Homo-oligomer: A and B are copies of this chain.
Amino acid sequence: MNVRLMNFNEKIAAVFAATLKLIHTNGFHGTPMSKIAQESDVAIGTIYHYFPSKDDLIFALFKHCRSLLNDYIFDGIKEDFDYKASFFHVWRNFVKFYLENETVFSFFDQFFSSPYHEKNKAEIQEPIGGQNKVLDFLQEGIDQKILKQVDVHLLVASYIGVALATVHSIKFKDLKFTEKNMEELMEIIWDGAVNRNKNN
Given contacts A110-B113, A189-B192, A193-B188, contact A127 B158 (CB under 8 A): no
Q: Assess whether B162 is in contact with A166, with CB atoms less than 8 Å apart.
A: no
Q: Assess whether A184 is in contact with B154, with CB atoms less than 8 Å apart.
A: yes
Quickly give the copy total for this chain: 2
Q: Digitize A148-179: 1 where CB-to-B-CB distance is under 8 Å, 0 elsewhere.
A: 10110111111011111110110010110000
Tell whether A78 is near chain B: CB-to-CB under 8 Å: no
Given contacts A155-B188, A191-B191, contact A172 B121 (CB under 8 A): yes
A3 to chain B, nearest CB (A): 29
Size of the chain A interface, CB-CB below 8 angstroms: 49
Show the binding face of A for B, using Cβ within 8 Å: 25-30, 106, 109-110, 112-116, 121, 127, 148, 150-151, 153-158, 160-166, 168-169, 172, 174-175, 181, 184-185, 187-194, 196
